Amino acid sequence: MTGLDPSTDRIVELAAIVTDWDFSIIDSFEVVIAQSSEALSKMPSAVTKMHTKSGLLAKIPSGIAEQDAQKTLLDFISKHFPDNDGKVLLAGNSIHQDRRFIRKYWPEIDRKLHYRMLDVSAWKVVFMNKYNLKPTKKSSHRAIDDIKESIKELKTYISHIKD
């Protein structure tokens, strides 16, 4: 996103990964979303630096239209969840923030998402404070990398649970 406030900021990158319940990757995709120069000019300096360092900022002007990104995601959901009434479980780190943007800008996608979410951040709070377990992350600040790191992190937490 260009920032953390859905009332003023916009989505600039979209990625999705479908996994099985062993958290093995089945399929994935990623796109950069074009946004206006006005939207980009409103980015806080920390976000501009982050997106510059990751290489994302340079890709935004040649990204795809936001409505095309939404259609791609809707097609991806339909492909992988045809018998699930399209209700997809959103998972990852700090996904409540992602969901705020989805509700604001992509209500059709929001309707496809289950009301339950798998927030890896909640697991992080427990494992950091109860077990002093702090997985390291690269924090590339690219959507697909962030999802892959969330999957790896969740696998780490689950590996500490005894059957």
**pLDDT tens readout for residues 11-62:** 999 999 999 999 999 999 999 999 999 999 999 999 999 999 999 999 999 9
Residue 33 lies in a domain: yes
pTM exceeds 0.85, yes or no: yes
Alpha carbon 64 to its chain's center: 17
Annotation says 157 is catalytic = no
Residue 152 lies in a domain: no
When divided into structural domains, the chain yields a total of 1
Of the residues 105, 115, 131, 157, only one is catalytic, namely 115
Residue 38 lies in a domain: yes
- Please state, in angstroms and rounded to a whole number, the distance separating the CA atoms of residues 84 and 82: 6
Q: What is the CATH number of the domain that holds 49?
A: 3.30.420.10
- Where in the sequence is the domain holding 68, given as residue range(s)? 13-119
87 pLDDT band (50/70/90 cuts)?
confident
CA atoms within 13 A on the CB side of 154: 20
Residue 126 lies in a domain: no
* Weakest mean pLDDT among 51-60, 137-146, 151-160: 137-146
The pLDDT score that the predictor gives to residue 90 is 95
